[in-house]
Chains A and B, each alone.
Chain A
């Protein structure tokens, strides 16, 4: 009888075991890899859409302009032209979706938020010391917020 090479049985078992492990890994990977994985890189492409699906809270000036065209045009003609509507009036997506939901009532704290004198503020920015600047009167008695240079 010619000599025939046989794998030692312990090696056969190891090879079978390794094959089993690799096979079950391949099966698991086939089933568990999300379909969008690798769309853009080594991550789940669907994560981009999930992050993009969140709803905004701030609507942006374009949305304000749709209904409040006149006010926005007035604002854009004066010094406060670069201010966001929602900077003073507060976040407006809810109001833009449903006009019955009113925006917060304005106080004067948002005027001094930017214009109170502060040593760290750049010199070009107009600043006042509110307790020395006609204390006790409202800002709007002398200034029109949408057109600061106009006298009411």
Chain B
């Protein structure tokens, strides 16, 4: 029998070779060099994402539709000009039912000119025709079961341990699946970077101990923000939970949002 290689001997030699190469210090140096080119290392300084759980509460009865939040968000996060918003305000106007129709309410219209950034003019209907008109601020709902995370083919979007749903811009290939998957319409494709973008809860602010720009700027405390893992009974978010019947958008989808609403009409979705 001359020079016969059994499968076993070949696999053993191959496996040993691979392990040997990987374990050698030379490989480790080479790995470090490759990764230095590819990515920076380490986690956020002085901030441990596992020790926080961020939530936002929105009291619809407090929103006056001034649009400061949408404007502040755009500036704070350098969102491109045009119809791109990480947070925006919608106005719902529900007309009175036509006399004799037997309905309890008329048609509802939803509008958001410029994302509400420059405020709103009076509704088109006159005072006598309106049953109910109100503003609803919207943003990423911070789902606990996020459809956008499930569909991302490259794992660029993820649920951070602190409750923020974030996008790794270096991994995003801009395919747009997440934009279609989001039931709340909170994502868009940035025309400059060609990657998906969304509300990060102002991640650069909350990690520095500041509030998100929209919460900071809101003049009526329609938005409250808090950390469920570090909040006392007097925290605005705990008061929000205590004093309101808390609702979520599209609860039937089972996304379990961490952006919670209080006091909205059944028409809101």
Interface of A with B (CB < 8 Å)? 4, 6-7, 12, 15-16, 19, 23, 26-27, 30-32, 34-36, 39-58, 60-61, 82-84, 86-87, 91, 113-114, 116-122, 125
Q: Which of chain B's residues 33-67 have a Cβ closer than 8 Å to chain A? A: 34-35, 38-45, 47, 49-50, 61-67
Selected A-B contacts with CB under 8 Å, 7 pairs = A31-B34, A43-B168, A47-B158, A48-B43, A48-B166, A54-B204, A120-B120
Question: B219–A44 contact, CB under 8 A?
Answer: no
Total A-B contacts with CB atoms under 8 angstroms apart: 180
- Which of chain B's residues 1-22 have a Cβ closer than 8 Å to chain A? 1, 4-7, 10-11, 14, 18, 21-22
Given A44-B168, A52-B203, A122-B134, CB of A113 within 8 Å of CB of B66: yes
| Residues of A with C-beta under 8 A to B14 | 19, 23
Q: Which residue of A lies closest to B135 (CB)?
A: A120
Q: Is the CB of B219 within 8 A of A12?
A: no
Return the contact of B66 from the options A45, A51, A114 (Cβ within 8 A).
A114
Residue B255 at the chain A interface, CB threshold 8 Å: no
Residues in B neighbouring A53, C-beta threshold 8 A: 204
Using a CB–CB distance below 8 Å, which chain B residues touch chain A?
1, 4-7, 10-11, 14, 18, 21-22, 27, 30-31, 34-35, 38-45, 47, 49-50, 61-68, 72, 75-77, 91, 93, 119-123, 127, 130, 133-135, 155-156, 158-161, 166, 168-171, 200, 202-205, 207-208, 210-211, 213, 216-221
Pick from A31, A35, A56: contact of B41, CB under 8 Å? A35
